Amino acid sequence: MDVNRCAGLSGRIAHLMALGAGCLMLAACANGNMTHNELASRAVSGDVASSPPAQSTKTASHAAPAHKAAHRHVARARARLHKGLGYSAVGLASWYGAGFHGRRTADGETFDKDSLTAAHPSLPLPCEVRVTNLANRRSLVVRVNDRGPYVGRRLIDVSARTAKLLGFYDRGLAKVKVEYVGRASPKREVADAPTSE
């Protein structure tokens, strides 16, 4: 019983130390005076006292503690990313098709190379985005139901049909603008019903 108690206690201590190091890094982000590497090395070495004090342009009576302000900023940014609100980016698009046809996507749907779908590394699944080919101004709203691309610095992978409609199927790559439209309803897939003869 004492051994289990000690193991639980040491686990809690390790958890609290990790939480403390995280708070220090968050405070340094709000402070802006230290790089992540400097802060990480200080947190690992336990040199907390040498961290520079947080500076604020507000008077002491009105200033929120740096860690609270940083936490609010991070929480708002995380919420925007999770919801996809205001997401708009320009980058390279590629397409994927026959090699993935029939496989499961990241949200559990079956990939169909002839559907208007796409893969994005971070947007919530499933959602809809407007993809615009900047070379010819063709634009489509597609369903993001997978993760990727995993090659180079590409922004989005679209299905073969989407690439054909946007006009870059033969080239393979295109510079596109991706804009978040909104959440998509979950797709219900039904197995093919057996035919009776």
User: Are residue 43 and residue 111 in the same domain, yes or no?
Assistant: no
- Write the single-letter amino acid at 4: N
Q: Are strands 117-119 and 139-146 parallel, antiparallel or unpaired?
A: parallel
pLDDT surpassing 90 at residue 159: yes
Residue 40 placed within a domain: yes
User: Are residue 124 and residue 38 in the same domain, yes or no?
Assistant: no
This prediction has a pTM of 0.56
Q: How many domains does the chain have?
A: 2
pLDDT surpassing 70 at residue 99: yes
Residue 190 placed within a domain: no
DSSP lists the bridge partners of residue 159 as 96
Residue 62 placed within a domain: no
Residue 69 placed within a domain: no
pLDDT tens readout for residues 26-59: 555 544 444 444 444 444 444 444 334 444 343 4
User: Are residue 22 and residue 108 in the same domain, yes or no?
Assistant: no
User: Are residue 112 and residue 161 in the same domain, yes or no?
Assistant: yes
- Residue 114's domain comprises 88-183
Residue 164 placed within a domain: yes
**What is the rounded average pLDDT of the residues 92-116?**
94
CB 103 within 8 A of CB 116: no
Mean pLDDT of the chain: 73
Give the pLDDT band of residue 170 (cuts 50, 70, 90): very high
Residue 59 placed within a domain: no
Q: Are strands 154-159 and 88-96 parallel, antiparallel or unpaired?
A: parallel
Q: Which residues lie below 8 Å from residue 10, measured CB to CB, with a gap of 6+?
A: none
**H or E element at residue 157:** strand 154-159
| DSSP assignment letter at 34 | S
Angle at 60 between CA 55 and CA 65, to 5 degrees: 60
**What is the rounded average pLDDT of the residues 137-159?**
95
Q: Which residues lie below 8 Å from residue 189, measured CB to CB, with a gap of 6+?
A: 109, 110
- CATH of residue 119's domain is 2.40.40.10
What is the Cα 51 distance to its own chain's centre? 30
- Number of Cβ within 10 Å of residue 127's Cβ equals 21
Distance CA 165, CA 42 (A): 53
DSSP lists the bridge partners of residue 132 as 139, 177
pLDDT surpassing 90 at residue 116: yes
What is the three-class DSSP state of 69?
A: helix
Residue 71 placed within a domain: no
User: Are residue 100 and residue 177 in the same domain, yes or no?
Assistant: yes
Residue 196 placed within a domain: no
User: Are residue 98 and residue 167 in the same domain, yes or no?
Assistant: yes
SS3 content of the chain, % helix, strand, coil (to 5): 35, 25, 45
User: Are residue 45 and residue 111 in the same domain, yes or no?
Assistant: no
User: Are residue 12 and residue 99 in the same domain, yes or no?
Assistant: no
